[in-house]
């Protein structure tokens, strides 16, 4: 693990392996540890770079609003700091996918391929956005447990809760350790993220769209539909997974990523 200066903040980054850079961008309100199955399983295929986004893990926290565009700029700055100028494969889960859309639209030439896991192209409804702002205030007043209680029950497939309880508990612990200011800033940023649906035809890099079979936050049907609007995307459902497919079913996800990166 290292702390890398990017502009006026420091980002913690886990790095493994060599070769084609694969940038792994975590979801809300998590950190790089959600990619443990990929850090362990793909290091022989790629150079893996798994940062903690601003406000999360051991990265610096900036109060206010952390927009998806700001986080995409952070990733470009991180690649500069790591002296990676070749195009990367960018893999984002959920909020990491919202960041990936912004990166793809702004830094097209830095992108070789795109992997979108358990994410959405649409913006929040006004009700959902208002709910996020309320949650942000509650997290600031009462702590990160508010976010853990709201989210953990929705993150995993039913079988994951019964058969892999250690994953569920580790995820809860990551959320409980997360800065309330960081959580609130990301909630505000997600609440104002743009709808990218109309821009999907412009995202013309080879893309792999992965969705857990039981994902109730970004359901397979919705992801299949947005993949169909991207010029070079392939959709794949991951059996036995919920919203955290790479963490719940790492063997299936790694096999799909390995094949896609090498193709
Ligand atoms: C995530 O996993 O990053 C969140 O579920 C995204 C969201 O709240 O929209």
Q: Is the peptide bond before 12 cis (omega within 30 degrees of 0)?
A: no
Q: What is the pLDDT of residue 252?
A: 98
Q: What is the mean pLDDT of residues 193-222?
A: 98
Q: Is 156 in the pocket of ligand 1 (CB under 6 A)?
A: no
Q: What is the mean pLDDT of residues 75-100?
A: 98
Identify the residue whose tokens are 């992801």.
223
Q: What is the pLDDT of residue 207?
A: 98
Query: What is the position in ligand 1's atom list of the atom closest to the CA of 97?
Result: 3
Strand partners, 190: none
Query: What is the position in ligand 1's atom list of the atom closest to the CA of 244?
Result: 2
Q: How do residues 103-113 score in pLDDT, each as one tens digit?
A: 999 999 999 99
CA distances from 122 to 9, 64, 101, 190, 226 (A): 29, 23, 11, 11, 9
% of the chain exceeding 70 in pLDDT: 100
Q: What is the pLDDT of residue 44?
A: 95
Helical residues (DSSP H) of the chain, grouped into ranges: 36-41, 68-81, 95-106, 126-142, 145-155, 158-163, 165-177, 180-191, 220-228, 245-248, 250-262
Contact 23, 49 (CB under 8 A): yes
DSSP secondary-structure letter at 53? Answer: P
Q: How do residues 155-192 score in pLDDT, each as one tens digit?
A: 999 999 999 999 999 999 999 999 999 999 999 999 99
Q: What is the pLDDT of residue 210?
A: 98
All domains in the chain, ordered by first residue: 2-262 (3.40.50.1820)
Q: How do residues 11-47 score in pLDDT, each as one tens digit?
A: 999 999 999 999 999 999 999 999 999 999 999 999 9
Q: What is the pLDDT of residue 215?
A: 98
3-state secondary structure of 85: coil
Q: Is 101 in the pocket of ligand 1 (CB under 6 A)?
A: no
Separation of CA 90 and ligand 1 centre (Å):
18
Strand partners, 21: 47
Q: How do residues 135-158 score in pLDDT, each as one tens digit?
A: 999 999 999 999 999 999 999 999
Close Cβ partners of 132 (under 8 Å, ≥ 6 residues apart): 124, 187, 188, 190, 191
Q: Is 27 in the pocket of ligand 1 (CB under 6 A)?
A: yes
Separation of CA 41 and ligand 1 centre (Å):
24
Residue of 190, 192, 241 best suited for mutating to test ligand 1, as the one with most atoms within 8 Å of CB:
190
Close Cβ partners of 126 (under 8 Å, ≥ 6 residues apart): none
pTM score above 0.95? yes
Q: What is the pLDDT of residue 103?
A: 98
Q: Is 28 in the pocket of ligand 1 (CB under 6 A)?
A: yes
Q: Is 249 in the pocket of ligand 1 (CB under 6 A)?
A: no
């Amino acid at each position: 693990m290292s702390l890398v200066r990017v502009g006026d903040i420091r980002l913690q980054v886990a790095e493994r392996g060599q070769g084609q850079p694969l940038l792994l961008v975590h979801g809300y309100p998590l950190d790089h540890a959600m990619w443990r199955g990929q850090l362990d399983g793909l290091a022989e295929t790629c150079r893996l770079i798994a940062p903690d986004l601003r406000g999360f893990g051991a990265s610096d926290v900036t109060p206010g609003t952390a927009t998806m565009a700001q986080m995409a700029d952070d990733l470009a700055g991180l690649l500069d700091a790591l002296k990676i100028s070749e195009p990367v494969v960018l893999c984002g889960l959920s909020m990491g996918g919202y960041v990936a859309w912004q990166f793809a639209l702004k830094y097209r030439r830095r992108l070789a391929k795109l992997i979108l896991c358990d994410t959405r192209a649409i913006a929040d409804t006004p009700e959902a956005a208002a709910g996020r702002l309320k949650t942000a205030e509650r997290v600031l007043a009462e702590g990160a447990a508010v976010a853990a209680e709201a989210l953990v029950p929705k993150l995993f497939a039913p079988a994951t809760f019964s058969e892999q309880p250690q994953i569920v508990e580790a995820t809860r612990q990551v959320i409980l350790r997360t800065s309330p200011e960081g959580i609130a800033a990301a909630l505000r940023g997600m609440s104002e993220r743009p709808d990218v649906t109309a821009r999907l035809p412009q995202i013309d890099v080879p893309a792999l769209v992965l969705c857990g079979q039981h994902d109730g936050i970004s359901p397979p049907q919705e992801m299949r539909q947005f993949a169909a609007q991207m010029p070079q995307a392939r959709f794949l459902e991951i059996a036995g997974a919920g919203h955290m497919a790479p963490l719940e079913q790492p063997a299936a996800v790694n096999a799909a990523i390995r094949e896609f990166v090498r193709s």
